[in-house]
Amino acid sequence: LEVHAAPTGLAEIAAPPAPGEEQPPLAPDEVTILGQLDATYLVVQHGRDLLLVDQHRAAERVIFDRLMAQPRRLARQLLAVPVTLELAPDEAAAVEDYREALGEMGFEVEPFGGSSYLLRSVPAQLTHSNPEEVVGGMIAELAQWQSSDELGERREAMLASVACHAAIKAGQRLSPPEMQKLVADLLATQTPAVCPHGDPVIVTMEGALIDRKFGRS
């Protein structure tokens, strides 16, 4: 059975709030997870408002904040079985340039002959992630950076890259407990609405606006 409906559209959505604009607090205990939309956004009730939460960016924010809260030299976890990385020439060059910075972040990488490298450890925070995927994505990103200057200034960018590659992806189905934990962890951060790259994590549809769109104001 298919019926033809004429749904009204929620077409225009506002720009992000101006910097410094006053925003209402989000209290984690007033939040109810309704479900997952398109395996990409979490649909959340907060009081009378409807929130959409980008699951990948939420996870990025959570991981990034945890990494930033660590001492400069991150705690590392030796891998039971080292991971062999086969690198392209520009990637191998990036590993050589950034070897010390990678080590500070918990990634011990050593030459293994030719284009091969061995990954011996990962940041302790990331032991539940796929280490090959995280370090592979990160090295590919490092290889695109222009120079190894200002390494210190790039610590945040490197941690954002780690967080990005370690985070839950869009398109990944989550169980209700996984959704609960992600949203609770996100709301416990200081800036849950913006990911480490500056993109929106949360888009809000206010209850009063919804009422107006139904002509119920």
DSSP-assigned letters across all residues of 112-172: -STTEEEEEEEEGGGTTS-HHHHHHHHHHHHTTSS-S-STGGGHHHHHHHHHHHHSPPTT-
Taking CB under 8 A as the binding criterion, the range among 38-46, 70-78, 94-102, 132-140 that sits at the site for a second copy is 38-46
Closer CB to a second copy, 53 or 135, in the complex: 53
Among 12, 128, 147, 217, binds a second copy (CB under 8 A): 12
The nearest distance, CB 173 to a second copy, in angstroms, is 12
* Phi, psi (degrees; rounded to nearest 5) at 70: -80, 165
For the beta carbon of residue 89, count every other beta carbon within 10 angstroms.
9
For residue 32, how many C-alpha atoms fall within 13 Å in the half-sphere facing its CB?
6
Sites for a second copy among residues 56-75 (CB under 8 A): 57
2 binds a second copy, rule: CB under 8 A: yes
Taking CB under 8 A as the binding criterion, the range among 44-52, 77-85, 113-121, 156-164 that sits at the site for a second copy is 44-52
Closer CB to a second copy, 61 or 154, in the complex: 61
- Binding residues for a second copy, rule CB under 8 A, total 62
Distance CA 47, CA 174 (A): 23
Beta carbons of 123 and 85 less than 8 angstroms apart: no
**Residues comprising the chain, all counted:** 217
5 binds a second copy, rule: CB under 8 A: yes
Interface residue list for a second copy (CB under 8 A): 1-17, 21, 23-29, 32, 34-35, 37-38, 41, 43, 45, 48, 50-52, 54, 57, 187-194, 199-200, 202-207, 209-210, 212-216
